[in-house]
Amino acid sequence: MLKTHISALALATVVTLTALSPSQAIELEMPTYQLEEGFGDWWKAAAEAFTKENPGHSVKLISVPFGDHHDQMTTRLAAGTPPDIAHISARFVFGFADNGLLEPLDERLKNIGWKEEDFISAQASMRREGKVYAQALLGYAWGLFYNKEMLDVANIAVPTTPDEFVAAAKALTLDSDGDGRVDQYGFAFVTDQSSQSYFNLTYLLAGLGHNWVEDGKLISKDDLRKAVAMTDELLKAGTTPTGIGNNDMRQLFWQGRAAMYIDGSWAPAYKKDATPQVAESYRVAALPFPDEAGGPSNVLAVPAALDDERKELAFKFLELVSRPEWQQKYGEISGNPPARLGMLTDKARADWPEIPVFEASAKRATKSYLPTGLEGEYNKFSAIVAEGISALASGALDADGATDQIHDELTNEFF
């Protein structure tokens, strides 16, 4: 009897160890560009929760700079060796889905009682040919970050209209020591050939009441010219250094060398790296435009090339982070409005006083940062725009020339 009991116990021990042995454990890999931002603590907490719910399995979070993330993701998806969990800047989902690189989620979502209407409107855009390919994590919401002390010293009110904005940017551009070089920029913005140059022009375009694609047609050249001309006016006034990228723009503001810049709901987390003066003096206001460009920011998806077991585990992680509990934590930990509606808690609002600005931004945006109907062509579309803005910033083209180049190339390519 004792021998039988020992044998049964030994067998149970072997079964348990086998179930949790390293050879059977699966480590899911998730590259992300958000570990250094306010989101990082949330991602780490969610990964720990996943392991508790799925003993023997884990999520390995890998930090990748934003500028490299998409290129690496594209290479791996195309090669059939994808990461297990695809954290994607939403503008790139459409091309991936259209090329069959992402797994449709409909059946799995149906099994957990998922409802599209529980999430922000940007979730609906994650469908291609009627199928859902990604879970939205955040919608774009923008704010005008400004240094209150700089504005107060110059006796300039926070701008609320496009004209006030341009005037303030010019007035806040200063050579304070008279050496002939600007040492305080009025409005920092990206002018290199990255997609952020496209975004910057889109802020202005939407603020002037336009989408890139209107009624199935490319915006008129005259309407595009107005946004390019505003960009040119800011450049000629020296409100920003030319040829700078996203990180340069942010560093200028948070290190006290720029009075204003535009950024998203994640940006208050950068205050941890700010100078004491900026950390004390920065504020966030609504964009000084009558309308804004919204849309999906970033998402989670499951690569189509994974084996079935990895797909199921990747979906379990996606399901976990979309639950109400973790959506509430998203607001509290990262300071961003979560994708699931009604999840912002009193704690999130108290800890992150800028949240109302971003909530209002998301609600009032009626324009899209994406070229409607051409979402799958975002890469090529934005590259044409960025090339024109870069040429404008370098002086290779004037405002009319840049407008003509952008409009003519987009027309020839897509319309």
The string of pLDDT tens digits covering residues 146-204 is 999 999 999 999 999 999 999 999 999 999 888 889 999 999 999 998 889 999 999 99
Contacts of 75 (CB under 8 A, 6+ apart): none
Looking at the structure, tell me whether residues 270 and 309 fall in a common domain: no
The string of pLDDT tens digits covering residues 261-283 is 999 999 999 999 999 999 999 99
Looking at the structure, tell me whether residues 215 and 284 fall in a common domain: yes
Looking at the structure, tell me whether residues 166 and 104 fall in a common domain: no
Q: Residue 8: pLDDT band by 50, 70, 90 thresholds?
A: very low
Looking at the structure, tell me whether residues 172 and 94 fall in a common domain: no
- Say if 192 falls within a structural domain: yes
The 10 Å Cβ neighbour count of residue 258 is: 29
- Say if 368 falls within a structural domain: no
**At residue 21, does pLDDT exceed 70?**
no
Q: How many domains does the chain have?
A: 2
**At residue 10, does pLDDT exceed 80?**
no
- Say if 7 falls within a structural domain: no
Domain assignment of residue 168, given as a range: 142-292+373-414
Which position has the higher pLDDT, 10 or 210?
A: 210
Q: What is the CATH number of the domain that holds 299?
A: 3.40.190.10
Contacts of 64 (CB under 8 A, 6+ apart): 31, 32, 33, 72
**At residue 11, does pLDDT exceed 80?**
no
Average pLDDT over residues 59-83: 95
Looking at the structure, tell me whether residues 177 and 228 fall in a common domain: yes
Q: Residue 107: pLDDT band by 50, 70, 90 thresholds?
A: very high
258 strand-pairing partners? 185
- Say if 169 falls within a structural domain: yes
Q: How far, CA to CA in Å, does 353 sit from each of 120, 197, 265, 284, 324?
A: 21, 29, 11, 9, 22
- Say if 247 falls within a structural domain: yes
Looking at the structure, tell me whether residues 176 and 38 fall in a common domain: no
Q: Residue 5: pLDDT band by 50, 70, 90 thresholds?
A: very low
